[in-house]
């Protein structure tokens, strides 16, 4: 069981997806499950823009960009952030149109 958990560890840490959901995606025995690449150029551009904007945030936490979980959806990227006022304030200011 520990070996199977290790196969999903990186993706769980990066996306916050539960092991139970990822276990069904394991195809090759012994091959770790990776994070899928963006399916569309627009998704890749969005991910790059979010990452570059986040690089301005510095922290000594386990989540240096303030992002705890990322959940890609059909037409948006859902982010779960650290429950820290400066992180929430930064993201609110950065994401407002203008």
The full set of domain ranges for the chain reads: 1-36, 39-98
Summarize pLDDT for 13-54 with one digit per residue, the tens: 777 778 777 777 777 667 777 777 777 888 788 877 777 776
Largest CA distance in the chain: 49
10/12 Cα distance (integer angstroms): 5
Structure confidence at residue 95 (pLDDT): 72
Share of the chain above pLDDT 90, in %: 0
Q: 97 pLDDT band (50/70/90 cuts)? A: low
Structure confidence at residue 75 (pLDDT): 77
């Amino acid at each position: 069981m520990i070996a199977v958990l290790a196969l999903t560890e990186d993706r769980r840490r990066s996306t916050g997806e539960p092991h139970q959901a990822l276990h069904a995606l394991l195809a090759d025995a012994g091959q770790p499950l990776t994070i899928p690449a963006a399916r569309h150029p627009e998704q890749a551009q969005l991910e790059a823009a979010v990452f570059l904007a986040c690089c301005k945030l510095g922290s000594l936490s386990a989540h240096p960009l303030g992002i705890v979980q990322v959940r890609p959806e059909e037409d948006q990227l859902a982010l779960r952030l650290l429950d820290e006022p400066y992180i929430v304030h930064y993201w609110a200011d950065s994401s407002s149109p203008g």
